[in-house]
Amino acid sequence: MKTIHLPYDKKTLKVDVSDLHIKALLTPQHQEEGSVINESELVKRALEHPIGTKRLSEMAEGKDRVVIITSDHTRAVPSGITMPLLLDEIRKGNPSADITIIIATGLHRGMTREEMIDRFGKEIVEREKIINHDAFEKTQFVNLGTLPSGSKCEINRIAVEADLLVAEGFIEPHFFAGFSGGRKSVLPGIASQECVNINHSAKAIQHPMSATGVLDGNPIHEDMIKAARLAGLACILNVLLDEKKKVSAAFFGDVDQAHRAGCAHLLSSCGVDAAPADIVITSNGGYPLDQNLYQCPKGLDAARACAKEGGVIILVAACSEGLGGENFGRLMLSAPPSQLLESILATPPEKTISEQWCAQRFADALIKYDIILVSQGLERSRVEQMNFIYAGTVEEALDKALALKGKDASVTVIPDGVGVIVRRS
């Protein structure tokens, strides 16, 4: 019997799986004991060795209005470590710089003061100018031109008009942008609702290159990197996180070069071979990414790469904030998966409804697999209305899965579904 711990909210849930069933346990490669360097030191080294740019302190010289883009409450960016170092580096080059921190909410809600304190620390919240981006406030955008998708590149005016634009973030596998981080700070981070919608259109999401671990040829990435360039994003500081959400590597420099260096490093450590099985157990990585169901296609993507045709996927996610976006919830509850997917695929890019992309991925998965959802944040009736199978515990979910696939069914476990990139044959 193998005991496996699955990230869930700010804790873990355990499940015992018989050795007779286990096909594979897919996890990132772990660092060797003694190889871990102090997190702050890793970030300092990155800032001291820029990739494709000058040092940030040099870039800040003579730049009076500086804007730093940072991630919102749904991302595990260790800003308590990174933000003070960024601020110090900027003020080393220009002690009198007027600095604004913009929280890249994309289409999410803004961060509360309590969440800001938890993310940045009380001193930074009280001392620095911090604002939430609002994708729905049409007057705050500048149209910078046309993106490859045909969308207008509408970006937050405060960022565009800065003398120096910087972004911080972290890199993890992303189920349609290839990887998170880098250029995503601008699009969708501080773009208009309309710009995000077209970038995330059904056509773009359905493209075969819009997949985990893919940048080249990915139409969603191509829009994003173009938007970052048009916005004048001078540099990024992106980190990689281990399974304990600790900084394991850091990269600073050009928005494309530094990001690709981080992506290559991540791929070398979290790439795993597919292990096809009748049943796949996974999670959405725990807090903060499993706060709502809207974010959960990310963890589901790795499981899909390992589930046999007609297989069962067990998805573990706390969903403490419920379904997530209003449009996402309405869509998920509106129709059976096949009808929902047909409707979304018939929607032209310019008519894209915010949040339809995650409903699209769920609908497609629900057509192909039985998905058992383990979540204490959602009521059974709501889970079943969305065509998932409800389970109160992972043990109950596994029992239901074995009942569906037989007592000899094989099981692959991916404890953190957003922490690996499954190499598909």
Q: Which whole number is the average pLDDT over 17-23? A: 94
pLDDT in tens, 302-357: 999 999 999 999 999 999 999 998 999 999 999 999 999 999 999 999 999 999 99
Question: Which residues, other chains included, contact 37 with Cβ-Cβ below 8 Å and sequence gap of 6+?
Answer: none
Q: In this structure, are 105 and 210 located in the same domain?
A: yes
Q: Which whole number is the average pLDDT over 74-94? A: 96
- With 80 as the cut, is the pLDDT of residue 9 above it? yes
Q: In this structure, are 231 and 370 located in the same domain?
A: no
C-alpha 70/C-alpha 26 separation (Å) is 31
Q: Are 173 and 418 in contact (CB under 8 A)?
A: yes
Q: In this structure, are 313 and 419 located in the same domain?
A: yes
In total, how many domains does the chain have?
2
Q: In this structure, are 96 and 191 located in the same domain?
A: yes
Is 31 domain-assigned? Answer: no
Q: Which whole number is the average pLDDT over 230-239? A: 98
pTM, rounded to two decimals: 0.90
Q: 320 is in which domain, residue-wise?
A: 2-26+275-423
Neighbours of 333 (CB within 10 A): 14
C-alpha 335/C-alpha 333 separation (Å) is 6
C-alpha 51/C-alpha 283 separation (Å) is 34
Where are the alpha helices (H) located in 178-307, listed in sequence order?
193-199, 202-206, 219-231, 257-270, 297-304
Is 33 domain-assigned? Answer: no
Q: In this structure, are 221 and 331 located in the same domain?
A: no
Q: In this structure, are 255 and 395 located in the same domain?
A: no
Is 123 domain-assigned? Answer: yes
- Secondary structure (3-state) at 357: helix
pLDDT in tens, 21-55: 999 999 987 544 334 579 999 999 999 999 999 99
List b or e across 80-101, with b for residues whose CB sees 16 or more CB atoms inside 10 angstroms. Answer: ebbbbbbbebbeebbeebebbb
Q: What angle do CA 169, 198, 209 make, to 5 degrees?
A: 70
68 confidence band (pLDDT: 50, 70, 90) = very high
Question: Which residues, other chains included, contact 62 with Cβ-Cβ below 8 Å and sequence gap of 6+?
Answer: 94, 163
Q: Using the 3D structure, point to which of 231, 248, 269 is the last residue of a domain.
A: 269
- With 80 as the cut, is the pLDDT of residue 382 above it? yes
Q: Are 185 and 236 in contact (CB under 8 A)?
A: yes
Q: In this structure, are 133 and 180 located in the same domain?
A: yes
Is 223 domain-assigned? Answer: yes
Would you name the residues annotated as active-site residues?
108, 174
Question: Which residues, other chains included, contact 63 with Cβ-Cβ below 8 Å and sequence gap of 6+?
Answer: 93, 94, 97, 163, 164
What is the 3-state secondary structure of 155-210? EEHHHHCCCEEEEEEECCEECCCEECCHHHHCCCCCECHHHHHHHCCHHHHHCCCC
Q: What is the CATH classification number for the domain harbouring 123? A: 3.40.50.11440
C-alpha 260/C-alpha 241 separation (Å) is 16
pLDDT > 90 fraction of the chain, expressed in percent and rounded = 93
Q: Using the 3D structure, point to which of 247, 269, 291 is the last residue of a domain.
A: 269
Q: How far is CA 188 from the centre of its chain?
A: 11
Q: Are 341 and 365 in contact (CB under 8 A)?
A: no
Question: Which residues, other chains included, contact 83 with Cβ-Cβ below 8 Å and sequence gap of 6+?
Answer: 68, 70, 101, 120, 124, 168
List b or e across 302-320, with b for residues whose CB sees 16 or more CB atoms inside 10 angstroms. Answer: bbbbbbbeebbbbbbbbbb
Is 399 domain-assigned? Answer: yes
Q: In this structure, are 184 and 96 located in the same domain?
A: yes
Q: In this structure, are 21 and 148 located in the same domain?
A: no
> In the numeric block, which tokens belong to residue 389?
């199978």
- With 90 as the cut, is the pLDDT of residue 74 above it? no
pLDDT in tens, 241-294: 988 889 999 999 999 999 999 999 999 989 999 999 999 999 999 999 999 999
Q: What is the CATH classification number for the domain harbouring 416? A: 3.90.226.30
Is 32 domain-assigned? Answer: no
Exposed/middle/buried for 321, CB within 10 Å: 0-12, 13-18, 19+?
middle
Q: In this structure, are 73 and 154 located in the same domain?
A: yes
Is 14 domain-assigned? Answer: yes
Q: Using the 3D structure, point to which of 269, 287, 302 is the last residue of a domain.
A: 269
Q: In this structure, are 114 and 154 located in the same domain?
A: yes
pLDDT at residue number 425: 57
- With 60 as the cut, is the pLDDT of residue 201 above it? yes
C-alpha 284/C-alpha 391 separation (Å) is 16
Q: Are 411 and 17 in contact (CB under 8 A)?
A: yes
> In the numeric block, which tokens belong to residue 31?
């660092």
Q: In this structure, are 86 and 44 located in the same domain?
A: yes
Exposed/middle/buried for 153, CB within 10 Å: 0-12, 13-18, 19+?
buried
